[in-house]
Amino acid sequence: MIELTNVNKVYRQGNQQYHVLKDISLKVTAGEFLAIVGPSGSGKSTLINIIGFLDNHFEGHYQFNKQEIGRLNQRQFASLRNQKVGFVFQNFKLITNLNVGENIALPLLYAGKRRDEINERIEAALDKVGLTGFSSKMPKNMSGGQQQRVAIARAIVANPNFLIADEPTGALDSHNSADIMQLFTDLNRELGTTIIMVTHDDHLAQMCDRIVKITDGRISSDKGMRSC
Protein backbone atom coordinates (compact mmCIF):
# COMPACT_ATOMS: atom_id res chain seq x y z
CA MET A 1 0.00 0.00 0.00
CA ILE A 2 2.70 2.49 1.10
CA GLU A 3 6.05 2.38 -0.64
CA LEU A 4 8.74 4.99 -0.02
CA THR A 5 11.93 4.68 -2.05
CA ASN A 6 15.02 6.73 -1.28
CA VAL A 7 13.06 9.55 0.29
CA ASN A 8 15.13 12.52 1.39
CA LYS A 9 13.89 15.63 3.13
CA VAL A 10 15.88 18.83 3.46
CA TYR A 11 14.59 21.83 5.42
CA ARG A 12 16.02 25.12 4.23
CA GLN A 13 16.20 28.19 6.47
CA GLY A 14 18.10 31.12 4.97
CA ASN A 15 21.51 29.80 4.01
CA GLN A 16 21.21 26.81 6.28
CA GLN A 17 20.14 23.35 5.14
CA TYR A 18 19.01 20.56 7.43
CA HIS A 19 19.05 17.12 5.86
CA VAL A 20 16.43 15.52 8.10
CA LEU A 21 15.44 12.31 6.26
CA LYS A 22 18.16 10.34 4.51
CA ASP A 23 17.41 7.68 1.92
CA ILE A 24 14.32 6.32 3.61
CA SER A 25 12.95 3.22 1.88
CA LEU A 26 9.94 1.69 3.59
CA LYS A 27 7.05 -0.54 2.57
CA VAL A 28 3.89 -0.86 4.63
CA THR A 29 1.29 -3.41 3.60
CA ALA A 30 -2.42 -3.24 4.38
CA GLY A 31 -3.22 -4.70 7.80
CA GLU A 32 0.10 -3.91 9.46
CA PHE A 33 0.41 -2.39 12.93
CA LEU A 34 3.70 -0.55 12.82
CA ALA A 35 5.55 1.48 15.45
CA ILE A 36 7.98 4.23 14.50
CA VAL A 37 10.45 4.88 17.29
CA GLY A 38 13.64 6.91 17.66
CA PRO A 39 15.21 9.70 19.67
CA SER A 40 13.77 13.21 19.78
CA GLY A 41 14.71 15.10 16.62
CA SER A 42 15.49 11.94 14.63
CA GLY A 43 12.84 12.71 11.97
CA LYS A 44 9.77 10.70 13.02
CA SER A 45 7.27 13.55 12.63
CA THR A 46 8.84 14.60 9.35
CA LEU A 47 8.42 11.04 8.10
CA ILE A 48 4.79 10.64 9.15
CA ASN A 49 3.94 14.04 7.65
CA ILE A 50 5.13 12.63 4.32
CA ILE A 51 3.42 9.26 4.77
CA GLY A 52 0.15 10.99 5.84
CA PHE A 53 0.06 13.32 2.80
CA LEU A 54 0.67 16.47 4.85
CA ASP A 55 3.96 17.23 3.10
CA ASN A 56 4.81 16.58 -0.54
CA HIS A 57 8.04 18.57 -0.63
CA PHE A 58 10.60 15.78 -0.57
CA GLU A 59 13.02 14.04 -2.89
CA GLY A 60 12.61 10.40 -3.89
CA HIS A 61 9.50 8.36 -4.56
CA TYR A 62 6.32 7.74 -2.62
CA GLN A 63 3.90 5.31 -4.22
CA PHE A 64 0.54 4.88 -2.55
CA ASN A 65 -1.44 1.95 -3.96
CA LYS A 66 0.96 2.09 -6.93
CA GLN A 67 0.19 5.77 -7.56
CA GLU A 68 3.17 8.16 -7.56
CA ILE A 69 2.40 10.93 -5.06
CA GLY A 70 4.86 13.39 -6.63
CA ARG A 71 2.75 13.51 -9.80
CA LEU A 72 -0.41 14.74 -8.06
CA ASN A 73 -1.48 18.37 -8.10
CA GLN A 74 -2.35 20.08 -4.80
CA ARG A 75 -6.08 19.36 -5.14
CA GLN A 76 -5.51 15.64 -5.79
CA PHE A 77 -2.98 15.54 -2.94
CA ALA A 78 -5.44 17.14 -0.50
CA SER A 79 -8.20 14.77 -1.55
CA LEU A 80 -5.89 11.78 -0.94
CA ARG A 81 -5.29 13.10 2.59
CA ASN A 82 -9.01 13.55 3.24
CA GLN A 83 -9.98 10.11 1.94
CA LYS A 84 -7.13 7.73 2.70
CA VAL A 85 -5.74 8.57 6.13
CA GLY A 86 -7.10 9.18 9.62
CA PHE A 87 -5.03 11.02 12.24
CA VAL A 88 -4.89 10.51 15.99
CA PHE A 89 -2.84 13.03 18.00
CA GLN A 90 -1.37 13.12 21.48
CA ASN A 91 -3.72 15.90 22.61
CA PHE A 92 -6.84 14.49 20.93
CA LYS A 93 -7.55 17.74 19.00
CA LEU A 94 -11.29 17.53 19.54
CA ILE A 95 -13.34 20.67 18.96
CA THR A 96 -14.46 21.57 22.46
CA ASN A 97 -17.67 23.43 21.59
CA LEU A 98 -18.96 20.51 19.50
CA ASN A 99 -20.40 17.37 21.06
CA VAL A 100 -18.97 13.90 20.48
CA GLY A 101 -21.20 13.09 17.50
CA GLU A 102 -20.51 16.45 15.85
CA ASN A 103 -16.76 15.93 16.25
CA ILE A 104 -16.94 12.48 14.70
CA ALA A 105 -19.15 13.78 11.86
CA LEU A 106 -16.52 16.26 10.63
CA PRO A 107 -14.68 14.01 8.12
CA LEU A 108 -18.05 12.88 6.72
CA LEU A 109 -19.29 16.46 6.33
CA TYR A 110 -16.07 17.31 4.45
CA ALA A 111 -16.74 14.27 2.25
CA GLY A 112 -20.27 15.55 1.50
CA LYS A 113 -22.13 12.57 3.01
CA ARG A 114 -25.88 12.67 3.64
CA ARG A 115 -27.22 13.31 7.15
CA ASP A 116 -28.83 9.86 7.61
CA GLU A 117 -25.63 8.11 6.53
CA ILE A 118 -23.61 10.38 8.83
CA ASN A 119 -25.78 9.46 11.82
CA GLU A 120 -25.46 5.74 11.10
CA ARG A 121 -21.70 5.97 10.71
CA ILE A 122 -21.30 7.97 13.95
CA GLU A 123 -23.12 5.24 15.88
CA ALA A 124 -21.06 2.49 14.22
CA ALA A 125 -17.78 4.31 14.98
CA LEU A 126 -18.80 4.87 18.61
CA ASP A 127 -19.62 1.14 18.91
CA LYS A 128 -16.16 0.25 17.56
CA VAL A 129 -14.39 2.38 20.18
CA GLY A 130 -16.59 1.22 23.07
CA LEU A 131 -18.54 4.48 23.52
CA THR A 132 -22.03 3.43 22.46
CA GLY A 133 -24.56 6.12 23.38
CA PHE A 134 -22.01 8.93 23.95
CA SER A 135 -22.97 10.96 20.87
CA SER A 136 -24.50 13.95 22.66
CA LYS A 137 -21.86 14.24 25.40
CA MET A 138 -19.44 17.16 25.44
CA PRO A 139 -15.75 16.18 25.29
CA LYS A 140 -14.88 18.33 28.32
CA ASN A 141 -17.08 16.10 30.50
CA MET A 142 -15.14 12.98 29.51
CA SER A 143 -11.87 11.47 30.74
CA GLY A 144 -8.69 11.73 28.67
CA GLY A 145 -8.99 8.09 27.66
CA GLN A 146 -12.59 8.59 26.53
CA GLN A 147 -11.64 11.73 24.59
CA GLN A 148 -8.92 9.78 22.81
CA ARG A 149 -11.52 7.12 21.93
CA VAL A 150 -13.66 9.87 20.38
CA ALA A 151 -10.63 11.05 18.40
CA ILE A 152 -10.09 7.47 17.20
CA ALA A 153 -13.77 7.21 16.21
CA ARG A 154 -13.35 10.44 14.20
CA ALA A 155 -10.21 9.01 12.58
CA ILE A 156 -11.92 5.77 11.46
CA VAL A 157 -15.42 7.04 10.63
CA ALA A 158 -14.73 7.70 6.95
CA ASN A 159 -13.08 4.27 6.48
CA PRO A 160 -9.57 5.51 5.66
CA ASN A 161 -6.97 3.08 4.29
CA PHE A 162 -4.71 3.67 7.28
CA LEU A 163 -4.36 5.51 10.59
CA ILE A 164 -1.45 7.61 11.75
CA ALA A 165 -1.26 7.87 15.51
CA ASP A 166 1.33 10.37 16.79
CA GLU A 167 2.16 9.60 20.44
CA PRO A 168 -1.52 8.68 21.00
CA THR A 169 -1.03 7.76 24.65
CA GLY A 170 1.40 10.58 25.47
CA ALA A 171 -1.17 12.54 27.47
CA LEU A 172 -2.69 9.53 29.25
CA ASP A 173 -1.93 7.69 32.49
CA SER A 174 -0.73 4.10 32.31
CA HIS A 175 -4.21 2.59 32.77
CA ASN A 176 -5.77 4.66 29.95
CA SER A 177 -2.69 4.10 27.78
CA ALA A 178 -3.15 0.35 28.09
CA ASP A 179 -6.85 0.70 27.18
CA ILE A 180 -6.07 2.76 24.09
CA MET A 181 -3.37 0.29 23.01
CA GLN A 182 -5.86 -2.53 23.45
CA LEU A 183 -8.35 -0.63 21.28
CA PHE A 184 -5.74 -0.16 18.53
CA THR A 185 -4.85 -3.86 18.76
CA ASP A 186 -8.53 -4.83 18.45
CA LEU A 187 -9.08 -2.47 15.49
CA ASN A 188 -6.02 -3.97 13.82
CA ARG A 189 -6.75 -7.64 14.54
CA GLU A 190 -10.53 -7.64 14.19
CA LEU A 191 -11.16 -5.01 11.51
CA GLY A 192 -7.80 -5.14 9.72
CA THR A 193 -7.14 -1.43 10.28
CA THR A 194 -3.61 -0.47 9.21
CA ILE A 195 -1.97 1.59 11.95
CA ILE A 196 1.29 3.54 11.94
CA MET A 197 2.07 4.74 15.44
CA VAL A 198 4.87 7.04 16.60
CA THR A 199 5.86 6.38 20.19
CA HIS A 200 8.71 7.06 22.61
CA ASP A 201 7.56 4.17 24.74
CA ASP A 202 9.44 0.92 24.07
CA HIS A 203 6.88 -1.09 25.99
CA LEU A 204 4.04 0.18 23.73
CA ALA A 205 6.15 -0.35 20.61
CA GLN A 206 6.57 -4.01 21.60
CA MET A 207 2.79 -4.42 21.26
CA CYS A 208 3.00 -3.62 17.53
CA ASP A 209 3.76 -6.17 14.81
CA ARG A 210 6.74 -4.27 13.53
CA ILE A 211 9.11 -1.64 14.92
CA VAL A 212 10.93 0.76 12.61
CA LYS A 213 13.63 2.76 14.36
CA ILE A 214 14.79 6.11 12.99
CA THR A 215 18.20 7.37 14.05
CA ASP A 216 19.52 10.66 12.71
CA GLY A 217 17.14 10.59 9.74
CA ARG A 218 17.85 7.02 8.67
CA ILE A 219 16.10 3.71 9.29
CA SER A 220 18.51 2.09 11.74
CA SER A 221 16.44 -1.03 12.31
CA ASP A 222 13.22 -2.61 11.06
CA LYS A 223 12.00 -5.59 13.05
CA GLY A 224 8.85 -7.64 12.58
CA MET A 225 7.55 -8.84 15.94
CA ARG A 226 4.91 -11.37 14.87
CA SER A 227 7.45 -13.34 12.93
CA CYS A 228 9.97 -13.33 15.83
**Candidate segments 44-52, 144-152, 153-161, 187-195, binder of ligand ATP by CB under 6 A:** 44-52
Which of 104, 154, 150 lies closest to 131, judged by CA?
150
CB 172 → ligand ATP: shortest distance, Å? 17
Burial class, 165, CB count within 10 angstroms (exposed 0-12 / middle 13-18 / buried 19+): buried
**Candidate segments 42-50, 80-88, 97-105, 178-186, binder of ligand ATP by CB under 6 A:** 42-50
**Candidate segments 33-41, 78-86, 123-131, 205-213, binder of ligand ATP by CB under 6 A:** 33-41
Q: Which residues neighbour 46 within 8 Å (Cβ) at sequence distance 6 or greater? A: 9, 20, 21, 55
DSSP β-bridge partners for residue 3: 27, 63
* Residue 149 Cα distances to 21, 113, 116, 221, angstroms: 32, 22, 23, 31
In the window 10-29, what residues touch ligand ATP (CB under 6 A)? 11, 13, 18, 20
Task: State which residue, 122 or 165, has the beta carbon closest to ligand ATP.
Answer: 165
End-to-end CA, the chain: 23
Q: Binder to ligand ATP among 24, 33, 42, 183 (CB under 6 A)?
A: 42
Task: State which residue, 145 or 217, has the beta carbon closest to ligand ATP.
Answer: 217
In the window 45-64, what residues touch ligand ATP (CB under 6 A)? 45-46
Dihedral over Cα of 182, 183, 184, 190: its sign: positive
Q: Binder to ligand ATP among 41, 70, 192, 224 (CB under 6 A)?
A: 41
Q: Binder to ligand ATP among 32, 34, 35, 43 (CB under 6 A)?
A: 43
8 Å CB contact between 84 and 76? no
Positions in the binding site for ligand ATP (CB under 6 A): 11, 13, 18, 20, 38, 40-46
